Amino acid sequence: MSFEIVQIPVWSDNYAYLLVAGDGSCAVVDSPEAGPVLRLIDERGLRLTHLFNTHHHPDHIGSNKGLLRRFPDLEIWGGSYDFEQGRIPGQTRVLRHDERFSWGGTECRVLEVPGHTLGHIAYAFATGAVFVGDTLFVGGCGRLFEGDAAMMTHSLYEVLGALPDESRIYCAHEYTEANLRFALSVDKDNVALKAYSENVRRARALNQSTVPSLLADERAINPFLRCDSAAIHAATGSSVDRPRHEVFGILRSMKDNYRN
């Protein structure tokens, strides 16, 4: 079985996701506010059963209390670290790395992907849809607010990077144009990146979403998944034997200070 994924633009650049099962039940993946989600649920006559949080930042858990007021039996799931820290309002279930559960008739595997925050998790459904929050963006990755470069590198390469090429990456922000401007500044001869950037430019001119992306495309265009390439070594002034996480750390600092 499968489910419909409805992308909900929220605030200036956030995306919340409504997962709609065939029986009329639905789930939400992160949202900064409840209003847009509730309007869509009411319009479609759905019943909300689950809320899947990736991490504790306000633009991801801001809807929790409002959704819980409307649906008092709502299941709110999140990671173990955030539960221990009491950072996800209303959390009812603790999820750990490699744990599996079924929703909407589809199996989901929980992936711990710390780096952006220490408690960040991703939801990898058997359909190929992977909800990554702020860990991996189209052409970019999340800032290191709590974790370090080694932690994020492991999350990107060993955890998310172990998923199949055809995985569809659903991130939580429309940051793609800015990410690709930086990517081109450090990987200017990348033919795949140039072509992808042009497609994104056309899509955004029509106010179209650039999310989701394929993991295969991220491997080809995303500088944070190309830290072993000659181009990124050159851009970061790294030798070929420099540890990957150190290359990543330099690259992430460059992005943090990039202005264009």
pLDDT at 260: 73
Q: Could you confirm whether 154 is annotated as catalytic?
A: no
Q: Could you confirm whether 60 is annotated as catalytic?
A: yes
Beta bridge partners of residue 131, listed in sequence order: 123, 170
- Rounded CA-CA distance 185/170 in Å is 25
Q: Where are the alpha helices (DSSP H) in 110-242?
A: 149-153, 176-186, 191-205, 215-221, 230-236
Q: Could you confirm whether 59 is annotated as catalytic?
A: yes
pLDDT at 1: 60
> pLDDT per residue over 57-77, tens digit each?
999 999 999 999 999 999 999
- Rounded CA-CA distance 57/134 in Å is 10
- Rounded CA-CA distance 62/72 in Å is 16
Average of per-residue pLDDT across 82-103: 98
Residue 225 has φ and ψ, to the nearest 5°, of: -105, 10
- For domain 4-175+209-215, the CATH class is alpha beta
Catalytic residue among 30, 82, 134, 187: 134
**H or E segment and range at residue 70:** helix 64-70
Q: Could you confirm whether 56 is annotated as catalytic?
A: no
pLDDT at 130: 98
What's the pLDDT band for 137 if we cut at 50, 70, 90?
very high
Catalytic residue among 50, 56, 57, 120: 57
Alpha-carbon separation of residue 67 from 46, 51, 109, 185 (angstroms): 13, 9, 24, 42
Residue 9 has φ and ψ, to the nearest 5°, of: -65, 130
- Rounded CA-CA distance 207/205 in Å is 5
Q: Quote the tokens at residue 54.
A: 């990736």
Q: Could you confirm whether 245 is annotated as catalytic?
A: no
Half-sphere exposure of 95 (CA within 13 A, CB side): 30
Average of per-residue pLDDT across 39-60: 98
Average pLDDT, the chain: 98
Domain boundaries defined on the chain: 4-175+209-215
Q: Could you confirm whether 50 is annotated as catalytic?
A: no
Q: What angle do CA 213, 36, 18 make, to 5 degrees?
A: 45
Contact (CB, 8 A) for 36 and 66: no
With tokens 């491997």, the residue in question is 219
